[in-house]
Amino acid sequence: MPKCPYCGRKLTENEMFCWHCEQDVSKIKEKMEKPGSEDDHEH
C-alpha cells in the first residue's frame, strides 16, 4: 500500500487525493507504479 509523501498516511490503491493533508497524490502514485522506481532497488 503506497504512502502519502507529504504526511506518510497509507493510501488506498486508487486514491488520487490525500484527505489527511489535502495534497494531490495522483502524480506521485504514477511514478511509484512505474518499473525502475526507487522501491525496486532494495532487492
Contact 20, 9 (CB under 8 A): yes
Q: Which helix (H) or strand (E) holds 23?
A: strand 23-24
Query: What pLDDT, on the 0 to 100 scale, is given for residue 30?
Result: 67
* 35 compared with 8, residue with greater pLDDT: 8
How many other C-beta atoms are found inside a 10 Å radius of the C-beta of residue 4?
19
Q: Say whether pLDDT at 5 is over 70.
A: yes
3 state SS of 24: strand
Inter-residue contact 27 to 16 (CB < 8 Å): no
pLDDT tens-digit map of 11-43: 888 888 998 999 998 887 666 666 655 555 555
Strands 23-24 and 17-18: antiparallel
